[in-house]
C-alpha cells in the first residue's frame, strides 16, 4: 500500500489537490487500477455542510473518470476492510470522521466521548484496519484539516479533540510514504 497524507486549513485546496492526485494516479495505472473510490465522512447536519458536500460531489462528477462514492461517516474501518488490490482510494476527511466518532451515540443520550474507552476503541479499529491495508496493493490518499495554528481553547472537549487529532496525524504520517500540507492553494511536501 502507498499511503499519501494531505492536510491543510479550511478551504486551503487540500480536497481538490487530493482528488486531482488520486485521479492522476488512477489514470496512470489504467491497466492495473480497479476502482477509484471516494470515502466520504461528511454528514449534512446544516446548510453549510450540505453546500460543501454538494460542491465536492459536483467536482467529482465533472471529472472524466467515474468515482465510486462510499458514505462512511462512522464505520470507516469496516469500509477499509472491503478495499481491494488495485484500488485508488481517497478518504475525505479524518477530521470529519473524528468529530462523528466523538459524538456518535449523542442521539441516544451518551456520545462516545463520554463512554469510557469508546474513542480509544474506535481509533484502534481504524489504525488496525489501515495496518491491514499494508498487505494490499492499493493507493490510499488521506485528507485531514490542520487545526494546530490556533491558540489553545478554553474548552477541555475542544482541546481533547485537537490532542487526539494531532496524535492521529502523527501516526498517519509515520505510516505514510508521502505527506503534504496545503496553504492558500500552495502545496508543500513534507515527506
Catalytic entry in 16, 25, 47, 56: 56
DSSP string, 156-181: HHHHHHHHHHHHHHHHHHHH-SEEEE
CA distance 142 to 146: 13
Can 169 be counted among the known catalytic residues? Answer: no
**How far is it, in rounded angstroms, from Cα 34 to Cα 147?**
34
Among 146, 41, 132, 19, which residue's Cα sits nearest to residue 82?
Answer: 132
Residue pointed to by grid coordinates 471516494:
38
67 phi and psi angles, rounded to 5 deg = -85, 145
What does the DSSP 8-state code read for residue 143?
Answer: E
Please identify every residue annotated as catalytic.
56
Amino acid at each position: 500500500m502507498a499511503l499519501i497524507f494531505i492536510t491543510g486549513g479550511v478551504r486551503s485546496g487540500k480536497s481538490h489537490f487530493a482528488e486531482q492526485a488520486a485521479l492522476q494516479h488512477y489514470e496512470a495505472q489504467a491497466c492495473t487500477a480497479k476502482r477509484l473510490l471516494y470515502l466520504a465522512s461528511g454528514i449534512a447536519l446544516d446548510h453549510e455542510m450540505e453546500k460543501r458536500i454538494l460542491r465536492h460531489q459536483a467536482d467529482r462528477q465533472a471529472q472524466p473518470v467515474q468515482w465510486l462514492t462510499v458514505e462512511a461517516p462512522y464505520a470507516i474501518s469496516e469500509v477499509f476492510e472491503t478495499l481491494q488490490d488495485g484500488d485508488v482510494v481517497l478518504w475525505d476527511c479524518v477530521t470529519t470522521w473524528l468529530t462523528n466518532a466523538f459524538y456518535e451515540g449523542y442521539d441516544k443520550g451518551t456520545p462516545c466521548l463520554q463512554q469510557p474507552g469508546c474513542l480509544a476503541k474506535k481509533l484502534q479499529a481504524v489504525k488496525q484496519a489501515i495496518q491491514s491495508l499494508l498487505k494490499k496493493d492499493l493507493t490510499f490518499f488521506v485528507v485531514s484539516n490542520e487545526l494546530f495554528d490556533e491558540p489553545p481553547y478554553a474548552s477541555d472537549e475542544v482541546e481533547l479533540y485537537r490532542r487526539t487529532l494531532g496524535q492521529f496525524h502523527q501516526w498517519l504520517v509515520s505510516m505514510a510514504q508521502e505527506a503534504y500540507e496545503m496553504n492558500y492553494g500552495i502545496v508543500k511536501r513534507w515527506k
